[in-house]
């Protein structure tokens, strides 16, 4: 079901609120949860016919959730009344979960994913399901970039990134197996946070690769990333890869102000030659800006064996697709896209030794990077190979995201600048595994230098818009 009408009362003029700003307004009683939800629904009704970020949204269901929040005490839960979108590979008992494929059109599951359980317990208003590519891996989706409808928003969490960029919701959840949080965030001009591997449970989320799958968050300010991260993080016996030894406590998610500029490692990586000249120039300009702000930045070359990391990522991702979705391919392959079918075929041909080598490389790379990050506050690296591609078929290259997915390190896409095509550009900040709160504090410092993410021009409903 696509978003539909049913909204019947005007909403006061609001800029798109961050979650933190909205919570403050709710606490002061200058805003109700229903008013906030209504504003988001108006934005969706006004913009989504062009952007197509939403797979499912039922306004009556949304307003019912908001009404329950309004009847409770303000801030009785950490996400009290906050509108949030979730990627349509995440199980929801009260909404369809269609996995981006006609093969499962209209599918209704009878349980919630762990992240949905935690959102509901925290008082969030789940606005709906955002568009995903096929099985979060296959054919590109219909979503368009809010900054320019003729350009890709990235994949596969394109709907979540576009919804936040367009001000339809302050927060959205996506997933990343290669680069599907960082890249859409970079192209859509929002913050995209891929936490440490194992920090957030994946139970109830369509699997691609157990070795690589991460839950991620999109927002327009770092404080919102930390807020939602603090709610979603935690061990889950239904996901054996969640871990507890290095979890940040709830208090640790507070953004501690930096007392001195950071020390960063600049890593261009073995695929620097794939970065367009404009992308190379942009990263080096960011380096100079950070140095001018007092940061110490040292360039590091990765050892030669890192040149194979993307091959190892493909091995793990495609073999995972074959294991998890080979049955669908065998029984209904003619209903899958040629791209997804090709990836599953590649996965079926992965030799056991190649899989073992990829797992071994992941461990070895992680050990090396842990040593690097013991000497630096973070790693600065490209988020993408350059400016946002034109068209919807090509969603960009995940090569600069994949290493941090393979090694399970937390990463954040930070918007900073505009390309010659008028669309946002970003860099990627990477931290030590398990020290997500430190990475978020560092990202907060950087956003303070570069400014908040820009909003798409001319895309928002007017102050007097009514349904």
Sequence-ordered list of residues with C-beta below 8 angstroms from that of 115, at least 6 positions apart, any chain: 86, 90, 173, 200, 201, 204, 205, 215, 232
Mean pLDDT of the chain: 93
Listed by start position, the domains of the chain span 19-450
Residue 416: both structure tokens together: 């900073």
**In contact, 288 and 294? CB cutoff 8 Å:** no
Phi, psi of 130 (to 5 degrees): -95, 155
Question: In the chain, what percentage of residues exceed pLDDT 90?
Answer: 87
Give me the DSSP letters along 382-443.
ESSSSSPPBBSS-----HHHHHHHHTT--EEEEEEEE-TTS-EEEEEEE--TT-HHHHHHHH
Mean pLDDT of 137-161: 95
pTM over 0.85: yes
* Three-class DSSP labels, 21-47: HHHHHHHHCCCCHHHHHHHHHHHHHHH
pLDDT over threshold 90, residue 2: no
pLDDT over threshold 50, residue 12: no
Is pLDDT larger for residue 116 or for residue 248?
116
pLDDT over threshold 90, residue 154: yes
Query: What is the per-residue pLDDT for 8?
Result: 34
Sequence-ordered list of residues with C-beta below 8 angstroms from that of 183, at least 6 positions apart, any chain: 154, 155, 383, 384, 395, 396, 398, 401, 413
Instruction: Find where tokens 């998610």 sit.
Output: 253
pLDDT band at 16 (very low <50, low <70, confident <90, very high): confident
Give the SS3 label for residue 312. helix
Active site residues: 87, 156, 180
pLDDT over threshold 60, residue 460: no
The predicted-structure confidence for 291-321, as pLDDT tens digits, reads as follows 999 999 999 999 999 999 999 999 999 999 9
What are the residue ranges of helices labelled H in 166-305? Answer: 182-188, 222-232, 277-292
CATH homologous superfamily for 19-450?
Amidase signature (AS) domain (3.90.1300.10)
The predicted-structure confidence for 409-446, as pLDDT tens digits, reads as follows 999 999 999 999 999 999 999 999 999 999 999 999 99
**In contact, 231 and 119? CB cutoff 8 Å:** yes
Query: What is the per-residue pLDDT for 467?
Result: 32
Question: What is the rounded distance in angstroms from the CA atom of residue 351 to the CA atom of residue 196?
Answer: 28
Query: What is the per-residue pLDDT for 5?
Result: 38
pLDDT over threshold 80, residue 9: no
């Amino acid at each position: 079901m696509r978003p539909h009408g049913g909204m019947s009362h005007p909403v006061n003029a609001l800029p798109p609120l961050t979650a933190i700003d909205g919570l403050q307004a709710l606490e002061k009683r200058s805003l109700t949860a229903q008013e906030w939800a209504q504003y988001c629904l108006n934005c969706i009704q006004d913009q989504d016919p062009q952007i197509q970020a939403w797979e499912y949204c039922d306004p009556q269901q949304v307003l019912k959730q908001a009404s329950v929040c309004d009847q409770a005490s303000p801030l009785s839960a950490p996400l009290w009344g906050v509108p949030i979108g979730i990627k349509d590979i995440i199980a929801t008992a009260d909404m369809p979960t269609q996995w981006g494929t006609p093969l499962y059109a209209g599918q209704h599951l009878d349980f919630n994913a762990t992240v949905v359980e935690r959102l509901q317990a925290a008082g969030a208003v789940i606005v709906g399901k955002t568009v995903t590519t096929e099985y979060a891996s296959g054919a590109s989706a219909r979503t368009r970039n809010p900054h320019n409808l003729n350009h890709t928003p990235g994949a596969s969490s394109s709907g979540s990134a576009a919804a936040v960029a367009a001000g339809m919701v302050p927060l959205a959840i996506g997933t990343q197996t290669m680069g599907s949080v960082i890249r859409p965030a970079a192209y859509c001009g929002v913050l995209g946070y891929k936490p440490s591997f194992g920090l957030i449970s994946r139970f109830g989320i369509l699997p691609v690769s157990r070795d690589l799958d991460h839950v991620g968050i999109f927002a327009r300010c770092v404080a919102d990333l930390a807020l939602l991260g603090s709610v979603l993080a935690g061990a889950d016996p239904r996901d054996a890869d969640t871990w507890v030894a290095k979890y940040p406590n709830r208090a640790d998610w507070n953004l501690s102000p930096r007392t001195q500029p950071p020390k960063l490692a600049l890593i261009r990586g073995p695929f620097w030659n794939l970065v367009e000249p404009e992308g190379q120039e942009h990263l080096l300009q960011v380096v100079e800006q950070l140095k001018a702000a007092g940061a110490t930045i040292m360039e590091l070359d990765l050892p030669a064996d890192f040149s194979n990391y993307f091959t190892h990522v493909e091995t793990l991702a495609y073999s995972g697709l074959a294991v998890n979705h080979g049955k669908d391919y065998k029984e209904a392959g003619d209903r899958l896209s040629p791209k997804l079918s090709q990836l599953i075929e590649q996965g079926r041909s992965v030799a056991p030794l190649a899989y073992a080598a990829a797992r071994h490389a992941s461990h070895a790379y992680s050990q090396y990077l842990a040593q690097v990050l013991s000497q630096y506050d973070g790693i600065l690296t490209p988020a993408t190979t350059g400016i946002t591609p034109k068209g919807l078929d090509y969603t960009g290259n995940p090569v600069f995201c994949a290493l941090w997915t393979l090694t399970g390190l937390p990463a954040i896409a930070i918007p900073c600048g505009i390309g010659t095509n008028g669309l946002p550009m970003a860099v990627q900040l990477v931290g030590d595994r398990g020290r997500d709160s430190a990475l978020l504090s560092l990202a907060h410092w950087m956003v303070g230098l570069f400014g908040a993410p820009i909003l798409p021009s001319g895309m928002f409903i007017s102050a007097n818009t009514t349904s």
